[in-house]
Amino acid sequence: MTQPHLSLQNVTYTYEENGPEAVSDFSLDVGRGEFVALLGHNGSGKSTVAKLLNGLYTPTGGNVLVAGMDTQDSQYTWEIRKRCGMVFQNPDNQIVATVVREDVAFGLENLGVPSEDMPAIIDRALSAVNMADFADRAPHMLSGGQKQRIAIAGILAMQPEIIVLDEATAMLDPSGREEVLETALRLNREQGITVVWITHFMEEAARSSRVAVMYKGKLVMDGTPREVFSQVDLVREYRLDVPPMTRLAHMLRERGLDVRPDALTIPEMRQEVKRLAHHA
């Protein structure tokens, strides 16, 4: 049996001693090269899990292993941060330098990358998020969406094995969101980078290979998008929803059409309509 890339074992986390459990007896193994969407209501514990994954928080109970290394063992702290890159909800808190190029370089300096190699690495990372033209601009003067992409470039430059993106697309416009999701999917597909994608957009989750759902600190669902989203009532009970095309499929069935109930994406729905139009 191969070792999971990320392993949360009966993890509990409380922000204050004897306080409420933000994460509660949570167990999840993520294999190398998986793309997992982590969903859950506001306050369900997703961001806490994200911070447990790169050792920013250490569990109150249980263990978190990153590539087999326990986050509680301080000798691994640096190694874990290097292998597991994080992009958080608010890009402002991640920007450290006054010029975009330097901001992206920040992590590289800490890794000891020779300075002559840096410009090429930085340019590649900025191109991957379509921000190459902004290399010499001041990050604090960029719009929200632009800042978010710089933060992602900073992580990409460090070439981590695992990337955890905590609502990294929440503030992006539709094309920016698509670019970032496409970038993450491509890094996952082509370089085998393990991705944990935290989101409130069900249509993004529909494109992952695995969906994990949290509810009040606990893991309550885990499966392929089709397995999870076909359980419409349960998903709604957990304060989530199904992707828009799954909703449309249900509306069509209510109107007496024999559409597959588990359609997830626009291409799938287009196929279904074509099939029915042929029969009609």
Ligand X SMILES: Nc1ncnc2c1ncn2[C@@H]1O[C@H](COP(=O)(O)OP(=O)(O)OP(=O)(O)O)[C@@H](O)[C@H]1O
244 binds, among Mg ion, ligand X, other proteins, none (CB under 5 to 8 A by kind): other proteins
Among residues 68, 96, 133, 257, which is the contact residue for other proteins, using CB under 8 A?
257
Q: Which stretch binds Mg ion (CB under 5 A): 44-52, 62-70, 179-187, 229-237?
A: 44-52
Binding piece for other proteins, criterion CB under 8 A, among 121-129, 155-163, 171-179, 185-193: 171-179
Structure tokens at 130: 């379509």
Q: Give contact residues for ligand X (rule: CB under 6 A).
A: 15, 22, 40, 42-48, 141-145, 173
Q: Which residue number, 105 or 198, has a Cβ lying nearer to other proteins?
A: 198
Among 47, 148, 194, 208, binds Mg ion (CB under 5 A): 47
How far apart are alpha carbons 62 and 26 in whole angstroms? Answer: 9
Position 227 contacts other proteins (CB under 8 A)? no
Helix axes 118-128, 100-111, angle to 10 degrees: 120
Residue 177 site contact among Mg ion, ligand X, other proteins, none (CB < 5 to 8 Å, cut-off depends on kind): other proteins
Segment contacting Mg ion by CB under 5 A, of 6-14, 41-49, 65-73, 101-109: 41-49
Q: Does 44 bind Mg ion (CB under 5 A)?
A: no
Q: Say if CB 198 and CB 165 are below 8 A apart.
A: yes
Q: What is the DSSP letter of 44?
A: S
Q: Which stretch binds other proteins (CB under 8 A): 62-70, 85-93, 119-127, 224-232?
A: 85-93
Cα–Cα distances (Å) from 74 to 5, 10, 195, in that order, read 19, 20, 24
Cβ 175 to other proteins shortest distance, Å: 4
H or E element, residue 29: strand 21-30
- The C-alpha angle with vertex 140 and arms to 115 and 162, in degrees rounded to 5, equals 55
Which H or E element spans position 144?
helix 144-157
Q: Report the Cα 33 to chain-centroid distance in Å.
A: 13
CB of 32 to other proteins, least distance (A): 29
CA distance 257 to 103: 54
Q: What residues make contact with Mg ion under the rule CB under 5 A?
A: 47, 144
